[in-house]
Amino acid sequence: MAGVTQDQDTIAEEMGMHTIPLRGRDIKTMFRVETEGGYGYPFAKDVDFNKRAEIDCEGKGCTFVNKRIRELMDEGHGTIVLKNPGAQHSLVVGILNRLNIIIDGSLGYFGCGLLDGPNVRISGRVGWSFGENMMAGTAIVEKNAGSTFGAALRGGDLVCRRSAGSRTGIDQKGGTIIVGGDTGAFSGFMMQRGRMVICGNAGKNLGDSMYDGTIYVGGEIQDLGVDAVQGDLTDADRAWLTRKLKMYELLPKKGVEHFTKIVAGKQLWNYDNLEPTEKKIIL
């Protein structure tokens, strides 16, 4: 494990990221990697991905649907298909388990929040705050996403194949956000860690007040926010971008050489401890 950590730290440094360990949930307590079962919660359900079930969401409401997903997991279903979601809010939230979820349609606001482990695929569009606080797993949206896509993301891969709204990845704390099209204003606002890839254009104030993390933009950047600066695209960046974008079939034909890398200027680091005069200089 020590060797793996060393390599990760080296790569992170090469990509301009800080390597200070995050405080918060203690993974050593929650997950015992050496025990059988790996990264599961002690209360995780033993599901079979080949056991498939469907839920027709029409007229059901989010409470019913979310409870039904848990019932099906209790019965060992590892693949659950949601039909007719009808842009309802708060569907598929708080699932801390390995699970395949296929959503045949669009979601409203706060869809797929607080996930830790599932792989989700959505054929339609998602509304505001999709994937908020996701901790692990993948969620792939085939159409557009609303504002605050991936807010406070902590881990996993969150992908929107088309465009996402304003404040994409606000308060991002880890994981990867990939947007195939454009994003709106204030994307990466107060980003603390993790990576965001915007294949199209980024709106104004990109990376405003970001503390750490990396944003890659394939198109035009309207303007940068406070303390967001351009970094050098290294070979490690290129390799990572190529691997990730290829994984989600979003790798541009011309490769990744045209991507601009944005990192924190670190002038806001420990901002609260600065003297008022120093704050004025920074802002």
Partner 1 sequence: MCGIAGLIHRNGSSNIGREMTDMLRALKHRGPDSTGFAIYGEPEKGEYVLRFKVAEQEELALGHHIHAEIADRRAKVDALLKEMGVNVTELADATEYAFRYQIVFDGDLKKLADRIEDIEGAEILSIGNALELIKDLGDANVVSDQYGLGDFIGTHGIGHTRMATESDVDIRSAHPYWAYPYNDIAVVHNGQITNYWLMRRELERAGQRFVSDCDSELLAVYTAANLEKGISLEDSLTKSIGEIDGVFTYLVATKDELGMAKDTMAAKPMVLYETDDLVALASEEVSIRAIVPHEIDTYDPYDEEVRVWRA
- Whether 188 and 208 have beta carbons less than 8 Å apart is answered as yes
CA–CA separation, 30 vs 48, rounded Å? 23
Q: Measured from the CB of residue 221, what is the shortest distance to partner 1 in angstroms?
A: 14
Distance between alpha carbon 26 and the CA centroid of its chain, in Å? 20
Among 110, 128, 216, 259, binds partner 1 (CB under 8 A): 128
Among 137, 184, 194, 218, binds partner 1 (CB under 8 A): 184
In the region spanning residues 74 to 103, those forming contacts with partner 1, defined by CB under 8 A, are: 86-89
202 sits in which H/E element: none
Q: Is 185 in the site for partner 1 (CB under 8 A)?
A: yes
Q: Is 209 in the site for partner 1 (CB under 8 A)?
A: no
Proportion of the chain in helix, strand, coil states, percent, rounded to 5: 20, 25, 55
DSSP assignment of 210-232:
--S-EEEESS-BS-B-TTEEEE-
Q: Is 207 in the site for partner 1 (CB under 8 A)?
A: no
Stretch that binds partner 1, among 132-140, 163-171, 260-268, 272-280 (CB under 8 A): 163-171
- Whether 88 and 59 have beta carbons less than 8 Å apart is answered as no
Stretch that binds partner 1, among 62-70, 105-113, 234-242, 251-259 (CB under 8 A): 105-113
Instruction: Using CB under 8 A, list all residues that contact partner 1.
Output: 86-89, 105-106, 108-109, 123-125, 127-128, 143-144, 146-147, 163, 165-167, 184-186, 203-204
